[in-house]
């Protein structure tokens, strides 16, 4: 296992600057590179602003802020990655662009350097081949906001060496984040489970079963930090739509995005960053997803059971272990800790109940879920489900 002494960030945008802040906060030097001086300066300003917020909250001193900023440098030249031990790509979600960046990074960095992508859904294997050193490439998927969110999905490809994986896990732990190893697949783990949850929320409102506000309030009452509509507005509807397209291509009908997503993006309603999304944050009128007629009967399980179903598919494909799935969803989405995660939640509700409700709602259940119910592994009540109970 190697050690990481210097980190490069390819891309000074929202995620790139956030990752750079997290790295420098842990005491490692980091160079942020983008294609123009203006973009680089904007990224450096975002990093400083992030640290200033911590100063205002009393979590660090002004002197410590300057010490951390001294670890950060900006550049428009790939040559400044020539002594980096790790470079994390954080450019827009376009596979052709990312492959081009990885080819450039492969030529500009030492052969020993690890190259990582922060992509949220695109195939890392394709980028690794473009780098010319696929054994030194993997995914390091940070979550927004990167300085705050603890989870990092660590995604090796079939070509990633064990040394690369071990070094990456150690690096993530070293910057005080929580690494969860995920087998490469479309959407990886957290986004793959999150999209059925969001999609069902939108479809429920489209059908008139509930209002946006009713759904969001119900999910917050369940224990989620924000409701699905506010979450999508925060993440950006364009970002969510790109992930949804990747998932639909990989998983077919069960991952088909709701019609409202594309309508909103076509209207330029991208969420908070554009002043309007599912909700309005400016003078723009509200967007009518459906009849907006509260029924008073909305139940959180309508969104949670499709999430559990996709988690079962992930288990069947060995994307991650049951414990890591629950841990990732709590750390990456704020799934309430009292439930211990979606798979523990399903065990407490009863896998027979989950299966019945999925079929009733017209969802195609995962074969693993059907096999567990057929075998009498129903969860807590039978002392065996996704987990064992004593």
Q: 153 catalytic, yes or no?
A: yes
Residue 5 tokens read as: 């002494």
Beta bridge partners of 75: 33
Contact between 137 and 128 under an 8 Å Cβ cutoff? The reply is: yes
Helices (H), the chain: 14-25, 37-56, 62-69, 95-108, 124-131, 162-174, 190-206, 212-222, 228-235, 237-251, 259-266, 301-316, 322-333, 342-349, 351-360, 367-374
Contact between 305 and 316 under an 8 Å Cβ cutoff? The reply is: no
Q: How far apart are CA 60 and CA 54, in angstroms?
A: 6
Residue 52 tokens read as: 């200033």
Catalytic residue among 66, 89, 129, 153: 153
Distances (CA, A) of 31 to 45, 117, 306, 313, 319: 14, 16, 41, 39, 32
Dump the DSSP string for 22-91: HHHHTT--EEEE-SSHHHHHHHHHHHHHHHHHHHHTTSS-HHHHHHHHTTEEEES-GGGGTT-SEEEE--
Q: What are phi and psi of 164, to 5 degrees?
A: -60, -45
Q: What's the DSSP call for residue 339?
A: G
Helix (H, G, I), strand (E, B) or coil at 315: helix
Instruction: List active site positions.
Output: 153
């Amino acid at each position: 296992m190697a050690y990481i002494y210097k980190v490069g960030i390819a891309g000074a945008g929202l995620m790139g600057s956030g990752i750079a802040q997290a790295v420098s906060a842990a005491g490692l030097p980091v160079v942020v590179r983008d294609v123009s001086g203006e973009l680089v300066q904007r990224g450096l300003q975002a990093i400083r602003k992030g640290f200033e917020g911590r100063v205002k909250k009393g979590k660090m001193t002004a002197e410590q802020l300057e010490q951390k900023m001294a670890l950060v440098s900006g550049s428009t030249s790939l040559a400044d990655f020539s002594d980096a031990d790790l470079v994390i790509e954080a450019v827009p979600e376009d596979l052709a662009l990312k492959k081009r960046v990885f080819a450039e990074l492969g030529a500009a960095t030492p052969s020993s350097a690890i190259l990582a992508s922060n992509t949220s859904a695109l195939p890392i294997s394709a980028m690794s081949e473009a780098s010319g050193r696929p054994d030194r490439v993997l995914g390091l998927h940070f979550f927004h906001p990167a300085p705050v969110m603890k989870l990092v999905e660590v995604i090796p490809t079939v070509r990633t060496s064990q040394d690369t994986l071990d070094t990456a896990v150690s690096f993530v732990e070293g910057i005080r984040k929580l690494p969860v190893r995920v087998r490469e697949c479309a959407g990886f783990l957290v986004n793959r489970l999150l999209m059925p949850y969001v999609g069902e929320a939108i479809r429920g409102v489209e059908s008139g079963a509930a209002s946006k506000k009713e759904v969001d309030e119900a999910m917050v009452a369940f224990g989620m930090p924000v409701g699905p509509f506010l979450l999508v507005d925060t993440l950006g509807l364009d970002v969510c739509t790109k992930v949804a397209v990747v998932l639909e291509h990989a998983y077919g009908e069960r991952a088909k995005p709701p019609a409202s997503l594309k309508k909103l993006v076509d209207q330029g309603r991208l969420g908070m960053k554009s002043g309007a999304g599912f909700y309005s944050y400016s003078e723009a009128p509200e967007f009518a997803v459906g009849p907006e007629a509260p029924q008073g009967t909305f139940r959180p399980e309508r969104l949670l059971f499709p999430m559990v179903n996709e988690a079962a598919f992930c288990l069947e494909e060995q994307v991650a272990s049951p414990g890591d799935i629950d841990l990732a969803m709590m750390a990456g989405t704020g799934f309430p800790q009292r439930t211990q995660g979606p798979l523990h939640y399903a065990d407490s509700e009863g896998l027979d109940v989950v299966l019945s409700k999925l079929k009733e709602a017209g969802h195609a259940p995962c074969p693993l879920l059907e096999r567990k119910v057929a075998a009498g592994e129903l969860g807590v009540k039978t002392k065996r489900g996704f987990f064992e109970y004593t």
